[in-house]
Amino acid sequence: MTLSLSKTVGEIGERGLLRRFRERVPAGPGVVVGVGDDAAAVEIAPLALLTTDSLVEGVHFRRDQAPPRLLGRKALTVNLSDVAAMGGLARYATVSLCLPPDLTLGWVDSLYDGLLERAAESGVALVGGNVARSPGTIVVDVTLVGEAGQLLRRSGARPGDRVVVTGTLGAAAEGVRLLDEGARLDEDGELCATGVWTESSAPAVLACLRAQLDPRPPLALARSIAERGFARAGMDLSDGLSLDLVEICSGGGVGAVLDADLVPVDSRAAGLERARGGDALSLALHGGEDYELLLAVAPEAFEEMGELARVWGVDVTRIGEFVEGEPVVRLRGAGAETLLPPGGHDHFRTAPA
């Protein structure tokens, strides 16, 4: 069936869109029945991982800010991050879309491009698709099925364990600010507008926009860390360090003390924040959507874990310690220790975008 890319979702209809999806999805290893029957049938290990996460227009993204191809990539990525943070291997995904009738097939095709591309990169087979008309809001809901290896749980942190994060923090939150200032990536993830920023800031703008629109969690490292038993507890940083760390603390019945000076604030985000007179440390502590790993690591395991991380080309940083006490986080800096209120992302509580 040949379809014009300028046709709308409303003209093509639910079945036309599903047919399109079905035609584009390749056969995958382990897929006995793929898209197109009542349910998919897939081969799976005896212990499976399941997670679901959605991207909602006006809450997690804006249509004029997120190119659909990158949106497709991110919808899968946020779930990949969850499976990896459990120490698992992602295998199969189903996608449920709510689409307003005025969207074009071109837009939907780009979304599929991103989903298919990210699935191929991560060895995931897309096995189910559902399309529903939405009165106005786009929703991209992905459920991911993986195979468990050594489980990496949120519980298990003990007093004396190091608080460890991978990568740098704050760039994704900086990306939101940049989008609101008119900076943009095109479909290929290249910079096509710097917004209020001059050309000299372009590399930093690009890096932060990519962190927001096309995050790259350390999937393989997460799995390796779990396999080698290097972390006592772990999760992915999606809601912001201050909030997510309370989760690990609650899970282990411990508190945590962070060193402000040790937090790996993203240098590009820091540069932009300095220029606007903002506070990059606050973005790193509360911003969210970094999709890095937050880990509780026994002191004796830290060095070996660092070596493993270097193999995967990922920085790991010790930013504090778990301590006995209530599940609260204290921040040490400038000679004082203050309570760090959990100030991360809660999409219900923040103002609509």
Site for a second copy in 150-209 (CB under 8 A): 151, 153-154
Say if strands 255-259 and 329-333 run parallel, antiparallel, or are unpaired.
parallel
What is the smallest separation between the CB atom of 159 and a second copy, expressed in angstroms? 21
| 204 vs 234 by CB, closer to a second copy | 234
Q: Does 218 bind a second copy (CB under 8 A)?
A: no
Handedness of CA 230, 233, 234, 240 (dihedral sign): negative
Q: Does 324 bind a second copy (CB under 8 A)?
A: no
CA dihedral 121, 105, 208, 222 (to 10 degrees): -30
* 185, amino acid identity: L
Binders of a second copy among residues 100 to 119 (CB under 8 A) are: 101
Q: Which of 180, 197, 315 is nearest to 206 (CA)?
A: 197
Q: How far is CA 45 from CA 76, 84, 279, in A?
A: 21, 16, 46
Q: Does 141 bind a second copy (CB under 8 A)?
A: yes
Q: Does 9 bind a second copy (CB under 8 A)?
A: yes
| 51 vs 212 by CB, closer to a second copy | 51
What is the smallest separation between the CB atom of 286 and a second copy, expressed in angstroms? 14
Query: End-to-end CA distance of the chain, in Å?
Result: 38
Q: Which of 66, 119, 127, 241 binds a second copy (CB under 8 A)?
A: 127
Say if strands 125-133 and 89-99 run parallel, antiparallel, or are unpaired.
parallel
Q: Give the interface segment with a second copy, choosing from 42-50, 181-189, 205-213, 330-338 (CB under 8 A).
A: 42-50
Q: Does 313 bind a second copy (CB under 8 A)?
A: no
| 11 vs 337 by CB, closer to a second copy | 11
Binders of a second copy among residues 55 to 74 (CB under 8 A) are: 56-60
What is the smallest separation between the CB atom of 170 and a second copy, expressed in angstroms? 21
What is the smallest separation between the CB atom of 116 and a second copy, expressed in angstroms? 17
Q: Does 41 bind a second copy (CB under 8 A)?
A: yes
CA distance 237 to 245: 9
Chain Cα centroid distance, residue 162: 23
Q: Under DSSP, is residue 207 helix (H, G, I), strand (E, B) or coil?
A: helix
Q: Does 241 bind a second copy (CB under 8 A)?
A: no
CA distance 335 to 164: 22
Q: Does 15 bind a second copy (CB under 8 A)?
A: yes
* 349, amino acid identity: R
CB burial of 247-271 (b: ≥16 within 10 Å; e: otherwise) equals bbbebbebbbbbebeebbbbebbbb
Q: Does 1 bind a second copy (CB under 8 A)?
A: no
**242-281 footprint of a second copy as x/- string (CB under 8 A):** -x--------------------------------------
| 35 vs 116 by CB, closer to a second copy | 35
Q: Does 42 bind a second copy (CB under 8 A)?
A: yes
What is the smallest separation between the CB atom of 190 and a second copy, expressed in angstroms? 29
Question: How big is the site for a second copy, counted in residues (CB under 8 A)?
Answer: 72
Contact predicate 101/10, CB 8 Å:
yes
Q: Which residue has the tokens 């047919």?
A: 19
| 43 vs 227 by CB, closer to a second copy | 43
